[in-house]
Amino acid sequence: MTVIIAVSQVLTRLGIKTFLSVIGIEPEYKELAHLDELDSVIPPGSKSYLIIEQSLLVKPESEYLLNIAKKYSKSKILIIGNRVIKNCPCSHFVLNSDNRQEILEKFQDFFSEKDDTSTVNGAEDILSDRETEVLKEVAKGLANKEIADKLYISINTVITHRKNITEKLGVKTVSALTVYALMNKLITPEEAIK
């Protein structure tokens, strides 16, 4: 997986990488300070994750973004800036005013494989078999990377499952997911993380 960070400040780039490592994403990074170098880092037709600083966009922003989105149609785009861009072809925004939790959730959203428009079926809060399996490993204290290796799936898939699990169950923290798993006897007390 390739993540392209087009952000002018080194500190911000570093911050982004830290957040991504927190959610277990360890991609190949390409860092840019200008957008005109995009061509040289994105191989045509490849699927990449683009993280772009809003102030690097040429105005009008939405038009400029539309061009980028068209050109690299397989890639996903996330904008970091002060406000949400109107009529923007992408729906992922991290705002400067966001707190830690919000940023984490937004990045998780960004890397989740789910289509932006699809939502979890509200009435169905029953986990799929695969989700149950992932939940068990989470409750045992495994990290995303370990779960991916164990279940032979990609990290993105793990993240997607985790996001769906959280949405369906309505609990977010690992310790609460563990309580849920124990209550429903998905794991034994010995297996649970202490």
Tokens of residue 10, six digits: 């080194």
Q: Tokens 């490592």 map to which residue?
A: 21
Strand 92-95 to 28-32 pairing: unpaired
Please check whether residue 133 is in contact with residue 165, taking contact to mean a CB–CB distance below 8 angstroms.
no
Contact range with another protein by CB under 8 A, out of 54-62, 63-71, 147-155, 170-178: 170-178
96: contact with another protein by CB under 8 A = no
Q: What's the rounded Cα separation, in Å, for the pair 107 and 98?
A: 12
- Tell me: does residue 183 bind another protein (CB under 8 A): yes
Query: Is residue 190 involved in binding another protein (CB under 8 A)?
Result: no
The residue among 28 and 124 lying less far from another protein, judged by its C-beta, is 124
- 120 or 171, CB closer to another protein? 171
Place of tokens 């973004």: 65
| Gap between the Cα atoms of 156 and 35, Å rounded | 26
By CB under 8 A, is residue 9 in contact with another protein?
A: no
Considering the rule CB under 8 A, would residue 99 count as an interface residue with another protein? yes
Q: Which residues bind another protein (CB under 8 A)?
A: 99-101, 169-173, 175-176, 179-180, 182-184
